[in-house]
Amino acid sequence: MAIICSSAGCKYRVPDLLAAEGLCVLHFTLSLEQTCNDLRRQTALGQVSRERIEEIHQFLQQRGELLARVSTAGLGLSDEMKARILATFLTLINLRENLDRVTARLATSKILS
């Protein structure tokens, strides 16, 4: 039986690849972008440990791989959805770059202290 997206009011079907998330492709990308924005805000404050940065690296890798699998699974995505997925990849890439800057700052502050 088809699983329907768990996002309020959404009637779209959940692709098999996203069964664990319980979300349609649209709401998976929206949820991922929201999480990335929250993580960027956390890391921007500079109060982030190396362990936390490593956790975020893992998160980015896992979500990026899942998004790549979903986007190449032949789901017959609309052009609008393809553009949305590309925007989400860009969000992942930008968060990764942001993390690298935070890591560089941490390294510098360690050298100086």
Residues in the site for Zn ion, rule: CB under 5 A?
Answer: 5, 7, 10, 12, 24, 27
Select 28 or 48, whichever has its Cβ closest to Zn ion.
Answer: 28
- We find the least distance from the C-beta atom of residue 32 to Zn ion, in angstroms, to be 13
Select 10 or 106, whichever has its Cβ closest to Zn ion.
Answer: 10
Phi, psi of 30 (to 5 degrees): -65, -40
- What is the DSSP secondary structure assignment for residue 31, as one 8-state letter? H
Q: How far is CA 7 from CA 12, 48, 80, 100, in A?
A: 9, 30, 19, 32
Select 10 or 17, whichever has its Cβ closest to Zn ion.
Answer: 10
* CB-based contact 31:6 (threshold 8 Å): no
- We find the least distance from the C-beta atom of residue 30 to Zn ion, in angstroms, to be 8
Phi, psi of 19 (to 5 degrees): -55, -40
